[in-house]
Amino acid sequence: MKPLSLPENFTLPSGSDIERLVSGIDDEAQRQGGIRRLLGHYRVDRKHSDGFSTNVLSPLSKIALELELTDSDGAILDKNHSLANAAFSGMLFGDIVNTIIYPELHTTYVPYRYIFINPKYLRPSEITKYIELGQNKTGAGRRYSHYAMAALQLDHLTSDTLIKVNDWSSRLIPSETNHEAFVKGFGMTLYAAWDTYTDQFDKEGRPYESLVPPYYSITNRGDDTSQ
């Protein structure tokens, strides 16, 4: 039998697992004087840890910039990068959660270097919209597809969890317009880690429960027909 690369008792996080961690982060933020101060402490504490700059800050900042709207030449329209900054902050909070959950994160497994867009999780209408927006050739297309992957995780979370994450956004992001970018950034890093570790589960032949069934899968209704 092929030895496991991941710990045998490791399981993918459930929505309730993430809820407990988000509640713990929220409690810690209150002890430290606010969510902004907690984020600052997190960055200072991790600053010199192995791979933090290379495997977390650098790739996440690059992905965040790619979410900004672009002109016909591919140049970012907002020179202040306000949306990217909001998304990046949300991504960092997602990384705080991931770091607690996933073993060997940022050493053996580096999920943020590229966040893969899986078409099987897009509805046909979403595929059409993605193509209309220019796919990954435009900021609008990249943002649309990355937000869709984030939604796979966010839709799996409880309302209490989402209320807390939205509250973090309102406390950290000055413009209400970019609150969504923060929340979606949080979901994107959750998705990136989940995608990386499910790939490893597949390699090891280990079962796991998918968050959502692929939209293109055939569903048998039990009457010898499909829909």
**Among 136, 130, 120, 113, residue whose Cα is nearest residue 196:** 113
Q: What is the DSSP string of 102-141?
A: STTBTTTB-TTS-----GGGS-HHHHHHHHHTTGGGSHHH
Rounded mean pLDDT, 177-206: 96
**From CA 109, how far away is CA 35, in angstroms rounded?**
28
**From CA 51, how far away is CA 64, in angstroms rounded?**
19
**From CA 218, how far away is CA 214, in angstroms rounded?**
9
**Digit-coded pLDDT (tens) for 151-181:** 999 998 999 999 999 999 999 999 999 999 9
Q: Residue 190 pLDDT > 50, yes or no? A: yes
**Digit-coded pLDDT (tens) for 39-63:** 998 888 887 787 899 999 999 999 9
**Amino acid present at 110:** V
C-alpha torsion 87→155→146→149, nearest 10: 140
Written as six digits, the tokens of 182 are 């923060």
**Amino acid present at 24:** G
The model's pTM is 0.91
Rounded mean pLDDT, 117-128: 90
- Per the CB < 8 A criterion, the answer to whether 144 and 133 are in contact is yes
